[in-house]
Amino acid sequence: MSKRLQVVMEESEYEAFERRAGELGLTLSEWVRQALREAERRLSTGDVATKLAAIDAAASHPCPVPAVEIDQMLAEIEAGYLRG
């Protein structure tokens, strides 16, 4: 089910947004929907301290790295692609 959103703004701002949408080949409505989705994605969720603690915990785990050269590793990866 669709819902309607009404936003009040200055006429000059409306016209600028309409122009920008047109430059992108979008209707103003679609441009606004995309802008709102992007704004939602950019909003941080969760506590920063909790996120940093999770990163610290992950970084504390031992991560063995094979004692091989990068060229050998890449060759092994490529060989895996060719087998699969």
Cα angle value 50/54/60 (rounded, 5°): 140
Picking from 5-14, 18-27, 64-73, which range would have the lowest pLDDT averaged per residue?
A: 64-73
Residues 82, 71: Cα–Cα separation, whole Å = 16
Residue whose C-alpha is closest to residue 48's, from 56, 58, 40: 56
pLDDT of residue 84: 64
User: Residue 63 pLDDT more than 80?
Assistant: no
**Structure confidence by residue, pLDDT tens digits, 21-52:** 999 999 999 999 999 999 998 887 778 888 89
